[in-house]
């Protein structure tokens, strides 16, 4: 009758108790999709035990060398990035090759943004992503921890 079955308690993270870190990722030679999935998981906080789906429990991520990211297959010639300016007839389209030359940071931002939740939470998660085309970044004061992306 008095048997204790060892009930388990589920703890949920609170926004005030989340301890965010700064992570540094080198995109040199990394495949775009594999890099983006890892970065999206880190931004959401899915790598932490206190992950809560409706809260921002993730870390800040700084990606450097975005201009050296790889795309497999024929994506450089065939993939197109499209957006609308908001004006009539304002649909713009650019090939991945040209986008990689002119704005390599936008390729990674676009890829990661598509993997984040849609809505206000996803927008706030996307603001924690910092992407730079070269090896320099202005976040040395935050002392980001260098992370190797698994291949």
List the domains of the chain with CATH numbers: 22-70+103-147 (3.90.1180.10)
**Average of per-residue pLDDT values in the chain:** 93
Number of H helices, E strands in the chain: 5, 6
Q: How far apart are CA 36 and CA 83, in angstroms?
A: 20
CA dihedral sign of residues 71, 109, 17, 21: positive
Q: What is the pLDDT of residues 6-44, one digit of tens each?
A: 777 877 888 888 999 999 999 999 999 999 999 999 999
**How confident is the model at residue 95, as a pLDDT?**
97
Q: What is the pLDDT of residues 42-70, one digit of tens each?
A: 999 999 988 999 999 999 999 999 999 99
Report yes or no: 87 and 73 within 8 Å, Cβ to Cβ.
Answer: no
The torsion angle over the Cα atoms of residues 105, 111, 113 and 118, rounded to 10 degrees, is 160
**Close Cβ partners of 138 (under 8 Å, ≥ 6 residues apart):** none
**How confident is the model at residue 2, as a pLDDT?**
61
**How confident is the model at residue 137, as a pLDDT?**
97
């Amino acid at each position: 009758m008095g048997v204790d079955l060892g009930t388990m308690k589920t703890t949920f993270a609170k926004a005030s108790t989340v301890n965010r870190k700064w992570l540094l990722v080198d995109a040199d030679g990394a495949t775009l999709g594999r890099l983006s999935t890892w970065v999206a998981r880190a931004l959401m906080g899915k790598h932490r035990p206190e992950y809560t789906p409706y809260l921002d429990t993730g870390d800040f991520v700084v990606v450097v060398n975005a201009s050296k990211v790889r795309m497999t297959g024929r994506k450089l010639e065939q993939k197109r990035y499209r957006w609308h300016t908001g004006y009539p007839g304002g649909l713009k389209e650019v090939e991945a090759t040209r986008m990689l030359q002119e704005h390599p940071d936008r390729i990674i931002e676009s890829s990661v943004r598509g993997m984040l939740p849609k809505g206000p939470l996803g927008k706030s998660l996307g603001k924690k992503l910092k992407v730079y085309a070269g090896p320099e970044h202005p976040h040395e004061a935050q002392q980001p921890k260098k992370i190797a992306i698994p291949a």
